[in-house]
Amino acid sequence: MTMSGNLSLHDPAAKTWRHWKLPGDNPRPYAVWVDERDKVWVSDFSGNAIFRFDPDAERFERFGFPREAAAFARSSVAPARCGCPKAAPSTSR
């Protein structure tokens, strides 16, 4: 993650970086988790949401919060287990 709103992956063997921009106007990724299926969960502080990133498909799935300005930063458990809202996800690249 970077302050640019990207989720980034470093390959130390190749000495390269890959970047994926979080969806939205001004994403501010804060915390990141990798679950048992190798999906990456990212909280977006300004986007009022948690995103699930599928590295194989290179796609984000958004899970928004019903309350405006929730400013979700992090949780002590992975989002899939913390009662994330059952909001209809939106998929974007």
| 11-24 per-position pLDDT tens digit | 999 999 999 999 98
Give the burial class of 1: count Cβ atoms within 10 A of its Cβ; 0-12 exposed, 13-18 middle, 19 or more buried: middle
In whole angstroms, give the CA distance from residue 76 to residue 82. Answer: 9
Q: What is the pLDDT of residues 35-56, one digit of tens each?
A: 999 999 998 877 788 899 999 9
DSSP structure class, residue 55: T
| Residue 85 CB neighbours (<10 A) | 13
Quote the CA–CA distance of 10 and 23 in Å, as a whole number. 20
